[in-house]
Amino acid sequence: MTAPDMQAASDALALGIDVINKAVSRAASLPDIDDHQSLLYDIAHAASAIDISRSLLDYGSKGINEGRLACAFIADTIADLNTKLFGREASWGVDVNSLQNAHTFISTYRSPEFVSELATLQAPNHLDQEFEMVADTFRRFGEDKIAPQAEHIHREDTDIPEDIIQGLAELGCFGLSVPEEYGGFATGSESDYLGMVIATEELSRASLGAGGSLITRPEILTRALERGGTEEQKKEWFPKIATGETMVAVAVTEPDYGSDVANLKVTATRVDGGWHINGVKTWCTFAGRANVLMLLARTDPDRSKTHKGLSLFIVPKPQAAGHSFEFDQETGGSMEGRAIPTLGYRGMHSFEIAFNNWFVPSENQIGLEEGLGKGFYMQMAGFENGRLQTAARAVGLMQAAYEEALNYAENRAVFGSSLSEYQLTKTKLGRMAAIIQGSRQYSYSVAQMMAKGEGTLEASMVKAYVCKAAEWVTREAMQIHGGFGFAEEYKISRLFVDARVLSIFEGADETLCLKMIAKRLLANAS
């Protein structure tokens, strides 16, 4: 096998970093940046891949196989950057030969001969023993409890069985981010974030909808409460979240306002002893089974205050099964929900919910008077971590797709030979292996940053890159299956449709790139 050359990888990456820096500087000088959204979008994705590549230099130095995977990922990244540049160098503010000196590195480590060598390559993750135990525990639960039910849940669009929810509660899954003093397992150290990422990946490997996604909503509410909740609210809700007694859904998006959170219209109006919620929320995933909704509403009627007029609420509701629910309160309020049919990510059920004078006690407004008008910021604290977790979900999904494709290729004979013996098949599998390991290692790095109170930009970057990569990986895994990949009896068809949602929720890809990644890059350049 071709040996890795990490010095050549570093040199090639330095050229890519220089291109990104010049492109960001050029974009920052443009008079009306909104007229250049396509440029900003491409810069954001390219910068994300470059940052992942940078994080792989350390991983690649830990062994031969690690180096091979790192070189393949970096070569692919620089080649893709070159594609984005071709014919648009002036717009990017770079010379036409900016990446010329990376040609030899790319030709070596992006060649089909080299990439095909990676098809079945095994490389360690270099986790400490305690995290290996976390991975093993959740992997076994996923294989034993979730995977056997995943296909039925998807095909029939059923509710997630209670034995899965209770089993995860017993494993402490919902308390991974809840501080120890409130009954959870979080110690305030780096291990909190890394453990969450590892558990999420392993559960998502078994099922995106019935596994890894169950952690996300409790995680979002936990982070929001940490950011702005009162001590009494933490004592009330953290223990219930940690044990799984209180299951959480998030109600932020509205029919007319997707990622444009600042212009939300759902209102919360003060009444005696609490608030009345009025309006419609949509894409409230898991809202039927949930016991509470984390709901963002407008508490200041002055819409010119945009996001500064929003507050965050914990909205209790009865638990419901199936695809619809209707609840009435003795005070006269009502709540009605209908599940939105979706092509994938089933089991969780995403609801549109109409609120009519739904009463919420005063003590359920997060932060009380201090929290009024600060709901947007609390919600964002939860969503930043949600983006990292979504990337971990994507890694788990990609790993499952890779394993399905490899198994099918090794057991399928085509024109007298095993499908796995053909170079094209091996090249596809090799590129998958590099993408998956690069994505995984970067998610670990971002977890370490976030544990230090950093990594806001990187959490958006990992989400943008990994979720888009998951679409390619699952598509190629399906293609390796041929016609059988299009048949619902094969697991890969579920993985393919599930992957499509990843670039949409927790921040749509375009909005994430333009409003988070590009905006932050430009701010750092000025």
Which are the catalytic amino acids? 506
Decide the pairing of beta strands 417-418 and 350-361. unpaired
292-331 in b/e form (b: 16+ CB < 10 A) is bbbbbbbbbeeeeebbebbbbbbbebeebeebebeeeeee
Inter-CA distances, 16 with 78, 89, 353, Å: 6, 13, 46
Pull the structure tokens for residue 12: 């090639």
CA-based nearest residue to 378, from 261, 235, 526, 281 = 261
DSSP string, 378-439: HHHHHHHHHHHHHHHHHHHHHHHHHHHHHHHHHH-EETTEEGGGSHHHHHHHHHHHHHHHHH
- Of the candidates 204, 197, 48, the residue with the CA atom closest to the CA atom of residue 127: 197
Say how far residue 450 (Cα) sits from the centre of its chain. 15
Please calculate the CA angle 510-216-299 and round it to the nearest 5 degrees: 75
Give dist(CA 243, CA 425) in Å, integer: 45
User: Exposed, middle or buried by CB within 10 Å (0-12, 13-18, 19+), for 125?
Assistant: middle
Task: Give the pair of three-digit tokens for residue 209.
Answer: 């909808």
Determine the 3-state secondary structure of 2 from DSSP.
Answer: coil
